[in-house]
């Protein structure tokens, strides 16, 4: 039998050969660790649907960030859980709000750590939505324009506390422009914006809503988060955010959206982030705990897939574990 001259299997015969021709590489320096912070002290409250993850008081957050940094992970992103919520999300932009306190503590202890602040209102609103709600009987709508000012105030509060990057995740129209203007006008023109540019209304967010204590009390978020069937719309959303001043654009979730990570990177050539979200984390954890798959091998494969798709930055709850695995 005549074989072709080129036989790809020649370069797969051992680990050294496979490593030599490997096309996609990623490192711990590409990762961002999400952390949840709340009021209190010496508090580590486990999140039942996200094994290994906790809500942390500021003192415990600093310890966790230290462990993260020692593993070579260069950045964390913060999500705050306030003691009190209202219909103006005042805890999001209060001068001594939980996230601002956390930022100051982290930058004091780890000045080189990149601290990213998620900018959204759902954790701070009594109704759990990402914007100002206008109700009429049983009907409600999100007041887009009224929400923009609160988002800008929140981003500014985080920048004043020392945040390195602000990351609006609310999906209101015009939020990047509003935040960019607020930062520029108040002395923070160099603070980058990482926009959740293509954020979809996804069932994969379920565990996060437990972690952030932010499920909507009525309705859902489909009027402002994207329909997961739409790809061309996602590209339009990304284009708008870049035009308004975004420095990094994100696709969220990651696992079922790698086609969009690729398309965003190919079309815009901007720094692209993806968020390996809570539901993706919980599914793998549950399967691993049942002995149905090898967690380490699956996670390394997933992260490589995100990188191969074009992601420059990967937000993942496995950031610490991945750092340990890579150092083994």
The model carries a pTM of 0.96
Please state the rounded mean pLDDT for residues 150-179. Answer: 98
Q: What is the DSSP letter of 250?
A: E
Q: What is the pLDDT of residues 89-128, one digit of tens each?
A: 999 999 899 999 999 999 999 999 999 999 999 999 999 9
Q: What is the pLDDT of residues 212-225, one digit of tens each?
A: 999 999 889 999 99
- Give φ, ψ of 307 to 5 degrees: -65, -40
Please state the rounded mean pLDDT for residues 284-305. Answer: 98
pLDDT at position 183 over 70: yes
Angle, CA of 245, 29 and 180, to the nearest 5°: 15
For residue 151, which of 133, 127, 132, 134 has the smallest C-alpha distance? 132
Look at the block and give the residue holding tokens 């926009």.
195
Please state the rounded mean pLDDT for residues 157-174. Answer: 98
Q: What pLDDT does 205 receive?
A: 96
pLDDT at position 203 over 90: yes
Look at the block and give the residue holding tokens 């500014």.
156
Pick the residue with more confidence: 219 or 200?
A: 200
| pLDDT confidence bin for 9, thresholds 50/70/90 | confident
| pLDDT confidence bin for 3, thresholds 50/70/90 | low
Q: What pLDDT does 1 receive?
A: 62
How many other CB atoms are found less than 10 A from the CB of residue 84? 10
Which residues neighbour 255 within 8 Å (Cβ) at sequence distance 6 or greater?
A: 204, 276, 277, 280, 302
DSSP for 291-317, please give it. TSS-HHHHHHHHHHHHHHHT-SEEEET
Look at the block and give the residue holding tokens 């930022």.
103
Which domains occur in the chain, in start order? Answer: 25-327 (3.20.20.70)
Rounded Cα distance, 88 and 44, in Å: 28
Q: What is the pLDDT of residues 257-268, one digit of tens each?
A: 999 999 999 999
Burial of 89 (C-beta count, 10 Å sphere; 0-12/13-18/19+) = buried
Q: What is the pLDDT of residues 311-327, one digit of tens each?
A: 999 999 999 999 999 98
Rounded Cα distance, 93 and 4, in Å: 65
Rounded Cα distance, 84 and 97, in Å: 10
Q: Give how far Cα 273 sits from Cα of 26, 249, 322, Å.
A: 13, 6, 17
**Active site (catalytic) residues:** 199, 252
Mean confidence (pLDDT) of the chain:
96
Rounded Cα distance, 60 and 237, in Å: 37
For residue 214, which of 58, 38, 19 has the smallest C-alpha distance? 38
């Amino acid at each position: 039998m005549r074989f072709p001259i080129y036989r790809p299997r020649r370069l797969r015969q051992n680990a050294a050969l496979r490593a030599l021709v490997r096309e996609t590489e990623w490192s711990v320096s590409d990762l961002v660790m999400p952390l949840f912070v709340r009021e209190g002290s010496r508090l580590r409250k486990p999140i039942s649907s996200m094994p290994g993850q906790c809500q942390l008081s500021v003192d415990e957050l600093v310890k966790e960030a230290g462990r993260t940094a020692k593993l070579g992970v260069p950045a964390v992103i913060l999500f705050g859980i306030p003691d009190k919520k209202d219909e103006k999300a005042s805890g999001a932009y209060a001068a001594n709000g939980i996230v601002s306190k956390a930022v100051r503590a982290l930058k004091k202890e780890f000045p080189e750590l990149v601290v990213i602040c998620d900018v959204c209102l759902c954790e701070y609103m009594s109704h759990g939505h990402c914007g100002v709600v206008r109700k009429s009987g049983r009907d409600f709508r999100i007041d887009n324009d009224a929400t923009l000012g609160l988002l800008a105030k929140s981003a500014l509060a985080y920048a004043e506390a020392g945040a390195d990057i602000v990351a609006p995740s609310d999906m209101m129209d015009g939020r990047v422009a509003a935040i960019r203007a607020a930062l520029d006008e108040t002395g923070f023109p160099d603070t980058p914006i990482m926009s959740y540019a293509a954020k979809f209304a996804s069932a994969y967010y379920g565990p996060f809503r437990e972690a952030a204590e932010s499920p909507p009390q009525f309705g859902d978020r489909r009027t402002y988060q994207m329909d997961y069937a739409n790809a061309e719309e996602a590209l339009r959303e990304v284009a708008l955010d870049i035009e308004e001043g975004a420095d990094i654009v994100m696709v969220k979730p990651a696992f079922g959206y790698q086609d969009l990570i690729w398309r965003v990177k190919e079309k815009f050539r901007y720094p692209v982030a993806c968020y390996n979200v809570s539901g993706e984390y919980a599914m793998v954890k549950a399967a691993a705990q049942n002995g149905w798959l090898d967690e380490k091998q699956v996670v390394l494969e997933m992260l490589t897939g995100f990188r191969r798709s074009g992601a420059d930055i990967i937000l993942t709850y496995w950031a610490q574990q991945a750092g340990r695995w890579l150092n083994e």
